[in-house]
A and B are shown apart, each in its own frame.
Chain A
């Protein structure tokens, strides 16, 4: 990975990292981080492209819950 790029540490399940390590011999990379970063970059590029024109607005689940509750649909 580019050493000058800022990074953050995140946890991944061991089984995912093990599967990535199994793939490494087929690639030009030495570290699982490099493989995972590549996959995420590529997939996110496609995902962002696919969803750039949709009218998504973030919805807070607590807000939905409180609206249903105030309308009498949730017995709590």
Chain B
């Protein structure tokens, strides 16, 4: 029998803020239950940061080679639309496909609706509306903007309008879709709750106070205006973490609801996050396009296989596409491993990367270390202790070789792609 598959993507959820990953707060009770009875990938790594780069890799099985900070760029959209997506693959295999994403970088504008019979992103399919939504909440243009913009942002959140929708607002769309389709189905939901600005409903506030929530706006504004490098003191930082944790807990209640409501369908749940979040580590807040451990280490749990195990081997989110293809019995056009049948001989590292202004920032992540190369500089971090190691020549060379191998393969693929483009431009094929 073909299994129903539900993919839940949390936006901005750090691995180390999840209960089953050892966090001291009870932020993720439902996900912890799924983790207890499911497959836990202890070293799951986002294949890119932020959302647009990460989700391109999740959906297509390929890294995004576009620069996310450029925003509304055709090149960005092509990264998704020029390749088969997992939704297209399972749809062709006979699955009903539904997707819901309230986040513009993972919306139909960038092609994330490809392959979904039903796709809801709350943004009308006209460029103007999308660009305005993007500018209002995500683009840099908001920084240095007028107080009116700030007030509008605040008003939108208070009124729960536009892109900052809490999950309760759209939940009915999901159940209505489920009732209307035949099994098997593939359902993807992006849950925005852990994404800043954090405004958890009062009923979900365990660690933050009502006042914290109102102050949160000013802090968010300062983050935007300081290029994500605000000078917050320890108290403010703690307050933001309290709000973040409450928002995670609120996002977890979505999973509880969906898991309960879909029990009868016996779906396989795949729950992950697109990337993490920085709280002053590396001198920044938020999730700028970079490959630090705080940003690339994400939770990943697969539940519903009647078996549970933990995987220490690092895995990349781009490998979800071949995994879902295998799970659904679909033909697999994706490179990469099926994460549910890794053998002992599997590659013991993965690469995360993102392009900023056309320049690559990349990391090689093993189960215990992260080697980063950004702006010509290299660093080696022991991820088990968080300490930055000075790199001996031998170690640096070994890691650099692993990264060079990856870069050579990327260049070859790009050369093939541009060769193909030239043929099309010249009208020869």
Question: Chain A: residues with CB nearer than 8 A to chain B?
Answer: 13, 15, 23, 35, 38-39, 42-47, 50-51, 54, 56, 59, 61, 63-65, 67-68, 71, 73-76
CB of B394 within 8 A of chain A? Answer: yes
Which of B112-120, B351-359, B421-429 is found at the contact surface with chain A?
Answer: B421-429
Query: Restricting to B393-413, which residues have a CB under 8 Å from any CB of A?
Result: 394-395, 397-399, 401-402, 404-405, 408, 411-412
Question: Chain B: residues with CB nearer than 8 A to chain A?
Answer: 312, 331, 333, 347-349, 366-369, 394-395, 397-399, 401-402, 404-405, 408, 411-412, 415-416, 418-420, 422-423, 428-429
In the assembled complex, the Cα of A75 lies from the Cα of B367 at a distance in Å of 8
Q: Which residues of B contact A61 (CB under 8 A)?
A: 347, 405
Number of A-B pairs whose CB atoms are under 8 Å?
75
Instruction: Please determine whether B395 and A45 come into contact, CB atoms closer than 8 angstroms.
Output: no
Q: Which residues of B contact A44 (CB under 8 A)?
A: 419
Listed by A's residue number, 22 A-B pairs whose Cβ atoms lie within 8 Å are A13-B333, A15-B333, A38-B429, A39-B420, A39-B423, A43-B423, A44-B419, A45-B419, A54-B411, A59-B401, A59-B404, A59-B408, A61-B347, A64-B401, A67-B394, A67-B397, A67-B398, A71-B394, A71-B395, A71-B398, A73-B369, A75-B368
The answer to whether residues A51 and B415 also contact, given A43-B420, A67-B401, A68-B402 and a CB cut-off of 8 A, is yes
**Contact with A42, one of B394, B408, B423 (Cβ below 8 angstroms):** B423
The answer to whether residues A68 and B419 also contact, given A13-B333, A51-B412, A61-B347 and a CB cut-off of 8 A, is no
Shortest distance in angstroms between B365's beta carbon and chain A's nearest beta carbon?
11
**Contact with A76, one of B331, B348, B349, B408 (Cβ below 8 angstroms):** B348
**Contact with B366, one of A15, A43, A47, A74 (Cβ below 8 angstroms):** A74
Instruction: Please determine whether B419 and A47 come into contact, CB atoms closer than 8 angstroms.
Output: yes
Q: Which residues of B contact A75 (CB under 8 A)?
A: 312, 367-368
In the assembled complex, the Cα of A13 lies from the Cα of B332 at a distance in Å of 10
Instruction: Please determine whether A39 and B429 come into contact, CB atoms closer than 8 angstroms.
Output: yes
**Contact with B399, one of A39, A50, A63, A68 (Cβ below 8 angstroms):** A68
Q: Which residues of B contact A15 (CB under 8 A)?
A: 331, 333
